Every structure is written in structure tokens, then in C-alpha cells.
Amino acid sequence: MNLPDYNFLSAPLPLITLLHIFTFSLHLIAMNFMLGGVIIVLWGGFNNRWEDLTVQKFVKLFPTAMAATISLGIPPFLFLQLVYSKQVYAAAIMSGWFWLMIIPVLVVTYYCFYSVSFSQKTNKQYRRLLLWVVLLGLLYVSFIYSSIFSMAERPAFMKSLYTLHQSGVMLNTNFGDYLFRWGHMVFGAITIGGFFIGLVGRDNAQAFSVGKTFFLGGMIVTALLGTLYLFTLNEYWAVLMRRGTLYFLSLGIILSFSSLHFFFRKKFMISGTMVFASLITMVTTRHSLRLVRLAEDFDPSLIKIDPQWSIVFFFLFFFVLAIALIGYMLRLYFND
């Protein structure tokens, strides 16, 4: 009996990698809008917070932003699974109960977003309570993802940990692998959230001031946490330098801080383009680190390629169409 062979890639590895990096960057933009927006709505220095027009717009956009975050998160996850299926599957099994809890947590979070969106502006405490539930849910999901995906890069560690017990409630205990990176992601979300607060409230002096504060402050803290994370990677510096990864990362840092100049002058298109480009450099750097960490155990370039171009073109057509429609809707909304 000849069993079907699933150990192949249905498209060239460079194309899969490119699509993974680009779609994951789009996912992060939507996710950062949502997570950073919640944090800023809760802690931003708004007078009459729930009466503020910028806050009202964000509250109305939260359910849509979560739908976009989930939809844009599926393609990069599938591209990751396509190449690193065994590693991700093993890590998810080891943290199985935490992984399964993501679904009910997201359901509750989604409900709370809709409840906040449709609740009365005068019901302040109720809105605040729901957004706190949302924030805790989003932080849980992001932390579990960071733990699982970082553990997937440690096959030997997973094997040793699995021999201890198979309870399905194991987290990555090598916290140095991901705690700073997780903090970098959270404050990166605050940075992007500040950008969008400034964009949406560009004609409101107070809202723009709040956006500037969180955009600048979030970027500084993100840079500090990113630097601390780099120090935990000292054993990989030589390899990353040879791959040109650290130079690419430096370009991203320059783009990030340069975007502040254009943001303060309300040139949002230039600033936003620079922020998105810097985000792509961060995602690319993260991908390079994954390759370096797995180098001794797994080389994706050795996987057999068996192209299935009809599926690839089908995905690309509808993906480009969806991005065009989303861009058109965002343009209509932000120009309103």
C-alpha cells in the first residue's frame, strides 16, 4: 500500500517565506491597532474619555479590527505550518491545554468588543470593565503564542521537557527566549496604537497629543526591550552578522525613529510607510533567527518541492483582491 507523501512544499520555499513575512506583517498591523488601541483608550489622557470622538471611533472599530486580525493571521500561520509543521505541532501539543484555551478566550474577547461597541457612552464603568477583560484576553493569547513558537525552535529542549511529563500544561521555561520579545511586541503594539490614535484624531489637538505621547514613548520602550532581547542572543550574533540580519535590523530601527519626524508633521502616509517597512525588517529578522536556532536540527531548504501552481495562483488572486478592498475601505474611513 502506497501512502500519500506529505513531506513536500507546494510552492518554492522563497515564495512561501516571502508570503509568510508579508502576511504576518499585515497581521501585526491589525493586531497592534487592536491591542495598542485598547491600552491607549484605557490609559490615554483624554478629557471626558467616552465622549471623545477619537475614542468613540476606536471603540466602534475594535470588532472590525479583531476580525481583520484573525483573518490576516490565518495565512502566515498556515505558511509557517507548511514548512515547520513538526516543530510547531510538537510545541502546541506540549502546551495543549493553553493552546486550546485560546479559542474560548478569543470568543469572550470578541463578545466584549461588540458589547463595548454597542453600549451607551454613559455606561463608563461597564465599558472600562469590558476593555480590561479584552486586554487580559489579548495578553494571554500573545503570551501563549510567544511561548509556543519560541519553544518550537528548541527541539532538544522539547524532548527533555516531554520526558518529564505529558500533561499538556507545559510552557516554555526558557523565559529568556521570549519574555523580552513578548514585551517588545506589547510595547510595539502601543507604538502602532499611538500612530493610529494620532491619525484618527489628527484634527483633535488633545487626541493627536495623546497619539504623539504613546507613539514616541512606546517606540523608546520597544527599542530598549529589543536591545535587551538582542543581548540574550549573543551566541548567535556572529551567524546573524554573516547573514546580514543585524544590518537589516539596523535599517528597521533607523526607519522607525525617522518616522517620528514625519508623524509630528502630520505626514501620515510617509510615516506609516516607514513604520510598515520597519515592521517587515523586524519580522524578517525574527525569521532569520528561527533558521539559525533550528540549523542543527532542521533545514527547510532540503524539503522536496512539488509545485501546485493552480492553488498558489488561486490564493494570490483573492489575497490581492482582499488587500485592495481593505485598502479602499480604510481610505474611505480615514478620509471621512
For residue 323, which of 140, 97, 133, 75 has the smallest C-alpha distance?
75
**21-to-25, 133, 261, 288 alpha-carbon distances in Å:** 6, 30, 27, 11
How does pLDDT run across 31-90, given as a tens digit for each residue?
A: 999 999 999 999 998 888 888 888 998 998 999 899 999 999 999 999 999 999 999 999
What integer pLDDT is reported at residue 4 of this predicted model?
65
pLDDT by 10-residue block (mean), the chain, 336 residues: 73 95 96 96 89 89 92 93 92 94 96 89 85 96 96 91 85 90 96 95 92 96 95 88 88 95 95 96 94 92 90 91 85 72
**In the chain, where are the structural domains located?**
8-305
What integer pLDDT is reported at residue 114 of this predicted model?
92
Between CA 289 and CA 281 the distance in angstroms is: 12
Give ∠ CA 38-178-225 in degrees, rounded to 5.
65
What integer pLDDT is reported at residue 270 of this predicted model?
96
Cell, residue 35: 491591542
How far is Cα of residue 146 from the mean position of the Cα atoms in its chain?
10
- How many Cα atoms occupy the beta-carbon half-sphere of 23 within 13 Å? 22
Residue 78: CB atoms within 10 Å: 14
What integer pLDDT is reported at residue 1 of this predicted model?
56
What pTM does this model have? 0.93
What integer pLDDT is reported at residue 77 of this predicted model?
94
What integer pLDDT is reported at residue 47 of this predicted model?
87
How does pLDDT run across 224-250, given as a tens digit for each residue?
A: 999 999 999 988 888 888 888 888 899
